[in-house]
Amino acid sequence: MTRRSAPLAALLLLAAASAPAQQPEPRAPDGRRYLSQPLVSEIYTADPSAHVFNGKLYIYPSHDIDGPAPEDDLGGHFEMRDYRVLSMDSPGGKVTVHPVALDVKQVPWATKQMWAPDAAYKDGTYFLYFPAKDKAGAFRIGVATSKSPTGPFTAEPQPIRGSFSIDPAVFTDTDGKSYMYFGGIWGGQLQRNTTGRYDANGSKTDLNAPDKPALSPKVAMMSADMKQFAHPPRDVRIVDEAGKPLLGGDTDRRFFEAAWMHKYKGKYYFSWSTGDTHYLAYGIGTSPYGPFTYKGRILEPVVGWTTHHSIVEWQGKWWLFYADSQLSGQTRLRNVKMTELHYNPDGTIRTIDPLVK
């Protein structure tokens, strides 16, 4: 070392000492890397329903909290009490976490478990749709309104008439008509709502009939004021390539929860979670009412038990919003993510693996 290079070496040593320590890249338990990183880390979020309003992206997620309930098959450990909206100006840009948009205490009919919500816009009003348990322990679907996409929202005093189960997803078609898709088995209670009334003593998980058609998600057109169903909910039929309904025992494909609808090149894409097999699957149809022919998987299993998503077009690209348990390693504490989604020339969706080698 020359005499003149000594100060330079000291400077380099100083710079190295003050540089932030290099964090190791997060890895999944099986050693693979994550395809994308959590959008926010200051709160836990899941079930991201994304919408573009006035060119900006808004995400309506569940707001996960660390409650005391032990994990069970019916999701008693998902004890969410309020909603917070996220927003972004551009893909990859800053994500803003907005203040509480609606708290369970502000919903006269609801007692607990503010699960996966969705939102819609019509004639100057934003609508927040959400499932929660009523005083009898039955899931119902409520609606709340605001003049701002980020709330605060004011809840209607009663749930939507004739609503039951969970995971509302509201799709507005190009002709302006809106439809709500909803439902979930196991903790989502579809199996306790097969007779038109909630049956607290009904089957615990599904129909327990593997050779019979699986329970169907539901669809109803929304009334002009977006606060009620325009007709009683109908079954959303999901069929195989031969037109036969998927069976209850076909757990790699049958509907479990997390309905979503989007339209691509004039076709209707209905997508859902297969729950206990942890896939996001989809079918294509020619009407918002279906039937939808099963086409394949959108997303392979994430780290965590649940998988729930939305699909939107934003700034000329299609995006999948999903969630995993990267930050906490716990089923009940999830974080939302986004990644680009691609179509094949025949209109099918390229399957995404959320973990890469």
Residue pointed to by tokens 């057109």: 221
Residue 109 beta carbon to ligand FUB: minimum distance, rounded to whole angstroms: 18
The span from the CA of 115 to the CA of 45, in Å, is 11
The contact mask relative to ligand FUB for 213-252 (x = CB under 6 A, - = no) is ----------------------------------------
160 binds ligand FUB, rule: CB under 6 A:
no
Residue 116 beta carbon to ligand FUB: minimum distance, rounded to whole angstroms: 4
> Which member of 134, 250, 257, 324 is catalytic?
257
Among 257, 269, 279, 309, binds ligand FUB (CB under 6 A): 257
Among 134, 167, 206, 250, binds ligand FUB (CB under 6 A): 167
Give the number of residues written for the chain: 357
Identify which of 301, 314, 202, 214 has the alpha carbon closest to the alpha carbon of residue 254.
214
308 binds ligand FUB, rule: CB under 6 A:
yes
Looking at the DSSP assignment, which residues form a beta bridge with residue 103? 82
258 binds ligand FUB, rule: CB under 6 A:
yes
45 binds ligand FUB, rule: CB under 6 A:
no
Which tokens in the block code for residue 164?
């039951």
**Annotated catalytic residue 47:** yes
> Which member of 47, 64, 134, 250 is catalytic?
47
Which tokens in the block code for residue 313?
């077009």
206 binds ligand FUB, rule: CB under 6 A:
no
166 vs 293 by CB, closer to ligand FUB: 166
Residue 20 beta carbon to ligand FUB: minimum distance, rounded to whole angstroms: 35
Q: How many residues bind ligand FUB (CB under 6 A)?
A: 13
306 binds ligand FUB, rule: CB under 6 A:
yes
The span from the CA of 24 to the CA of 19, in Å, is 15
46 binds ligand FUB, rule: CB under 6 A:
yes
Among 34, 39, 47, 140, binds ligand FUB (CB under 6 A): 47
293 vs 311 by CB, closer to ligand FUB: 311
Ranges within 262-291 binding ligand FUB (CB under 6 A)? none
The span from the CA of 129 to the CA of 138, in Å, is 16
Among 88, 95, 116, 320, binds ligand FUB (CB under 6 A): 116
**Annotated catalytic residue 346:** no
115 vs 127 by CB, closer to ligand FUB: 115
78 binds ligand FUB, rule: CB under 6 A:
yes
Residue 87 beta carbon to ligand FUB: minimum distance, rounded to whole angstroms: 20
Among 62, 165, 271, 335, binds ligand FUB (CB under 6 A): 62
Q: Which residues, in sequence order, are CB contacts of 5 under 8 Å at separation 6+?
A: none
> Among all residues, which ones are annotated catalytic?
47, 257
Which chain residues interact with ligand FUB by CB under 6 A?
A: 46-47, 62, 75, 78, 115-116, 166-167, 257-258, 306, 308
